[in-house]
Copies of this chain bind each other. A is one copy, B any other.
């Protein structure tokens, strides 16, 4: 299978990138094709230009057309990001805003949204300094709501899971190693099909 892997952290030396690398290595061990996009490394511009949402696909910038091809071709999606202000960073939100376009990826119907890119195995790995329980209690888990209900509520999925690692800022080396092991086990468990 082809798996689209997105990372959205400014530093290539970050724990986020270590998580993405662990996911990529495990996918490759399973024989899968990994389509990896480090949005910071690619200098992705997350600002949706005026009218880009309504033009034809042929008129889109080539990078957006390539991302669309990637999301269409992949049978799985893994997204790795930190929690900034209860959300993925702007660079990743803008990727959703520009790539997951009406008409290209989904459309509206009287019965609700109709997805053209559903049926994938979806895995979100997020990190935060706020403990998950506090994030849930204070804010209602906005990162979870965003991915599960808002984005993949529209796109649909074969199955959806999210794991938040926290609090990163005070974590020990042992904890981070355990979390990396958990990423490998999760990817093995969820992406072991063809």
Contacts and interface: CB of A to CB of B under 8 A. Distances in A.
Interface stretch (A59-67, A70-78, A117-125, A145-153): A145-153
Contacts of A97: 84-85, 89-90
A90 B11 CA distance: 19
Interface in A70-107: 84-87, 89-91, 93-94, 96-97
Nearest to A146: B86
Interface stretch (A28-36, A47-55, A174-182, A183-191): A47-55
A142 B138 contact: no
A138 to B, nearest CB: 6
A140 interface: yes
Contact of A140 (B51, B89, B140): B140
Given A10-B51, A49-B10, A51-B10, A145 B140 contact: yes
Nearest to A98: B90
Given A84-B97, A138-B153, A46 B145 contact: no
A97 B89 CA distance: 8
Contact of A46 (B47, B49, B87): B47
Given A50-B11, A142-B142, A142-B145, A151 B85 contact: yes
15 contacts: A10-B48, A40-B47, A44-B47, A46-B46, A46-B47, A46-B91, A47-B91, A48-B84, A85-B146, A85-B151, A87-B146, A93-B93, A138-B153, A142-B142, A142-B145
